[in-house]
Amino acid sequence: MATLTTAEVDALQIENFIFHVVHHGADDPILFDDTPLATFEQFFIDRIKETLKGNRFLFKVNSQVKEKLESWENGEHSFVDISKNLARQFHRVGDKRMKTGVLIVIGLKTNERKLYSLIKYDSEKVVTFVREGARAILQAVTNNFTESPKALQKSALIDLKADEAEVVIIDRMNRTGISDFYKNFLGVERLRNSKEMTSDLVKAVRKTVKVHAAELPRAITSKVSDKIVEIAKARKEFEVEAFFNDFFGVKASEEIRQTFDRTLDSLKLTGEAFEYDEGELPKSEDKKYITSEGIRITMPAKAKGLLEVKHTKDESIITIRTSRLQEI
């Protein structure tokens, strides 16, 4: 799937829709034959769009979910029968920690593409009221769908026609990966590992800084590697919003953000959240500087701490401490 174009996202339509109640304490899920979508298509389209911000996975060879969806796509079983089979499988592998909710099974199309969505929605208690004359009567409603991100616990968007059948997943229990429960249910593995993604993130940051070097403060352009390592040590996990604000600051221009996002997309990092691989973070290395007058300075890694740079509004002051200086 890699991604959907803006036009494909705008063209998303729901062709099949049903849900079943799962993890409600009984041995079997509560199954339905029909759950009309009525006027709520856009509500669920919006939830599916949120899934596009998730992590990328591939189906394993023995994935039962993939087999079931393919049998539906090939006309071997009906949509309702497949949805019930998926609900039974999902309900069976749950445990007492799982909140009561529904498993939603959706068939989508966008232009000529066919996609599938599996969403676990937790039931949330909402207090509402009804008016009786001058009185307001409070009521508790628990069987509901809300727009709360916490309610949408697990969501998968599936493209069986993509290379190796790609899956985009959001799992609120593990934003940088996937819980064992959901991983086993879907039968998936991560498309890219932390080593690859950390390496590409470093490339994306350096490219963005290079493109916008003229408008970025010197405190950023002169310490790219140090800032990346500092952020990784503080947070341990990459999430694009937090990283961008930590590195570039909350006042960074929209143009810088657009460059960063485009670069991430070109490196297949859009939507990905992951643990940093320490081995791929920038290492201590010779640092090279050049002044506006053309003076070049090389600081070996072993001399770290002997060169100090202070930036003022009008100039940069460079201080080098040494036991001896000689001309070469």
State pLDDT tens for residues 216-270: 998 899 889 989 999 999 999 999 999 999 999 977 899 999 999 999 999 999 9
Q: CA 190, CA 183: separation in Å to the nearest integer?
A: 10
Q: CA 167, CA 160: separation in Å to the nearest integer?
A: 8
Q: Which residue do the tokens 């966008």 mark?
A: 110
Nearest to 130 by CA among 141, 145, 144: 141
**Residues pairing with 109 in the sheet:** 13, 114
Q: CA 291, CA 215: separation in Å to the nearest integer?
A: 16
The span from the first CA to the last CA of the chain, in angstroms, equals: 57
Residue 292 DSSP SS3: coil
State pLDDT tens for residues 79-130: 999 999 999 999 887 656 677 788 999 999 998 889 999 999 887 655 555 6
- Tell me what percent of the residues of the chain surpass a pLDDT of 70: 87
pLDDT at 137 over 80: no
Angle of the 194-211 helix axis to the 224-235 helix axis, nearest 10: 140
Give the pLDDT band (50/70/90) at residue 177.
Answer: confident
Q: Using CA of residue 15, residue 18, residue 23, residue 27, what is the dihedral sign?
A: negative
Q: Where are the domains of the chain?
A: 4-188, 192-273, 286-318
Average pLDDT over all residues of the chain: 86
